[in-house]
């Protein structure tokens, strides 16, 4: 799939499959093209080229029945600021053939106490909870969540993660999540794609991606002379064994740090900040990586 705005290419060939029932996270720096991608999949934007299928339908031709199978965070409730929370939810529920029970849904997202409150009196985090409730009121098969936990306190974030996991595991809902929170992606996603400057640079499970950029673990310890030491190695257990043997006992302040998703993310982003031509143009290779086809197609669920 490709996309350009007024002759400027912003998506250069986004090619990936999102499987039914999986939680898929799309990561990338500001301006990478995440929202553009998601809006094309939601049917709100026309792509410039390529093929897209979402629940078996081209989103550009999605009808009401197709739309009813998709959950997204609507902006329209902002036109309903004076409505009460439960009232708004009941109003939206009426659009769907088999909606969730509004009271149960409020309980699920932790807004029972706010049921009678006016929408414009909710806190930022409470509004996001309401966004999520509105997105799932119609029992969607596919749920789009665009930076869903912005403004959530740690407890609300954890509750939200539990909820998304439950929707995916128990109800088979497919979830496409965009987030800047790498810990959130690592915690929730079955697979993650990294979009940088309109191209998918890597795609795989969190563990696959974390391994990819920096294959070496870092071992830190304090040497007998008291100096802090660190060494990168692809065989940390061997180094630790040697240190233990040389020390003749426990190694002081021993720490083994595996490469993280953040290492991979920063590697991918910086790789693309190098001048044109010096950075590789394709997708990072390795297990679980897809994409790189210049005119690729994108299919979701
Ligand atoms: N309507 C538009 N007209 C012209 N350019 C646009 C339009 N919408 C987005 N862009 C440009 O397309 C590029 C991708 O934007 P997009 O909003 O998809 O990025 P994003 O990855 O969602 O970023 P963020 O993390 O900041 O939300 C940006 O360079 C942006 O300036």
Angstrom distance (rounded) from CA 104 to CA 111: 10
From ligand 1's centre to the CA of 180, what distance in Å? Answer: 15
Boundaries of every domain in the chain: 3-69+140-210+262-300, 216-258
**Distance in angstroms (rounded) separating the CA atoms of residues 184 and 159:** 12
- Cβ partners under 8 Å of residue 50, min gap 6: 1, 2, 13, 14, 295, 296, 297, 298
Interface ipTM above 0.85: yes
- Of the pLDDT bands very low, low, confident and very high (cuts 50, 70, 90), residue 78 is low
Handedness of CA 136, 142, 144, 148 (dihedral sign): positive
**What CATH code would you report for 3-69+140-210+262-300?**
3.40.50.300
Percent of the chain with pLDDT over 90: 51
Closest CA to 73 of 38, 21, 108: 38
Instruction: Tell me if 34 CB under 6 Å of ligand 1.
Output: yes
Distance from the alpha carbon of residue 104 to the mean position of ligand 1, in angstroms: 37
Mean predicted lDDT score pLDDT of the chain: 85
pLDDT in tens, 32-61: 999 999 999 999 988 888 889 999 999 999
Q: Output the CA 277–ligand 1 centroid distance in Å.
A: 24
- Can you give the pLDDT at residue 43? 92
Q: Residues of 268-290 as b/e, b for ≥16 C-beta within 10 angstroms?
A: bbeebeeeeeeeeeebbeeeebb
Residue 282 has pLDDT above 80, yes or no: no
Instruction: Kindly report the number of other CB atoms within 10 A of residue 88's CB atom.
Output: 21
Helices (H), the chain: 34-42, 64-67, 85-93, 102-108, 124-136, 154-171, 182-188, 206-213, 236-247, 261-271
* Residue nearest to ligand 1 atom 12, measured at CA: 10
Among 126, 283, 295, residue whose Cα is nearest residue 203: 283
Sheet with 23-27, strands from edge to edge, namely: 70-71, 142-146, 174-178, 23-27, 191-196, 199-204
Q: What is the pLDDT of residue 205?
A: 93
Is any atom of ligand 1 closer than 6 Å to the C-beta of 35? Answer: yes
- pLDDT greater than 70 at residue 194: yes
pLDDT for 290 equals: 36
CA-closest residue to ligand 1 atom 24: 30
Per-residue model confidence (pLDDT) at position 10: 87
Residue having the nearest C-alpha atom to atom 26 of ligand 1:
30
Output the CA 188–ligand 1 centroid distance in Å: 25
Question: What is the pLDDT, as a whole number, of residue 114?
Answer: 96
Residue 138 CB–ligand 1 contact under 6 Å? no
**Residue 187 above 80 pLDDT?**
yes
pLDDT of residue 240: 95
Q: Is the dihedral of CA 87, 92, 94, 100 positive or negative?
A: negative
For 9, 50, 247, the CA distances from 227, given in Å and listed in that order, are 52, 57, 14
């Amino acid at each position: 799939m490709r996309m350009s705005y007024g002759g400027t290419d912003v998506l250069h060939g986004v090619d990936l499959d999102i499987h039914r029932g999986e939680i898929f996270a799309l990561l990338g720096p500001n301006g990478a093209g995440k929202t553009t991608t998601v809006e094309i999949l939601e049917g709100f934007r026309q792509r410039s080229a390529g093929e897209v299928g979402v629940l078996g339908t081209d989103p550009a031709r999605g009808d009401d029945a197709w739309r009813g199978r998709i959950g997204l965070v609507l902006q329209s409730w902002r036109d309903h600021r004076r409505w009460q929370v439960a009232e708004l939810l009941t109003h939206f529920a009426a659009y769907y053939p088999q909606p969730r029970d509004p009271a149960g849904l409020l309980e699920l997202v932790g807004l029972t106490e706010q049921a009678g409150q006016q929408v414009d009196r909710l806190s930022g985090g409470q509004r996001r909870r309401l966004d999520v409730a509105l997105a799932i009121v119609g029992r969607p098969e596919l749920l789009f969540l665009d930076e869903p936990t912005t403004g959530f306190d740690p407890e609300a974030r954890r509750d939200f993660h539990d909820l998304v996991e439950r929707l995916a595991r128990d109800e088979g809902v497919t979830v496409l999540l965009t987030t800047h929170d790498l810990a959130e992606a690592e915690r929730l996603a079955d697979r993650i794609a990294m979009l940088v400057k309109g191209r998918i640079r890597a795609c795989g499970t969190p563990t696959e991606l974390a391994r990819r950029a920096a294959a070496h673990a870092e071992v830190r310890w304090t040497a007998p002379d008291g100096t802090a030491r660190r060494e990168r190695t692809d065989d940390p257990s061997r180094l630790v064994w040697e240190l233990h043997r040389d020390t003749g006992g426990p190694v002081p302040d021993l720490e083994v740090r595996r490469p993280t998703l953040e290492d991979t993310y920063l590697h991918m982003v910086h790789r693309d900040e190098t001048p044109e031509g010096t950075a590789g143009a394709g997708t990072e290779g390795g297990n679980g990586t897809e994409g790189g086809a210049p005119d690729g197609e994108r299919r979701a669920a």
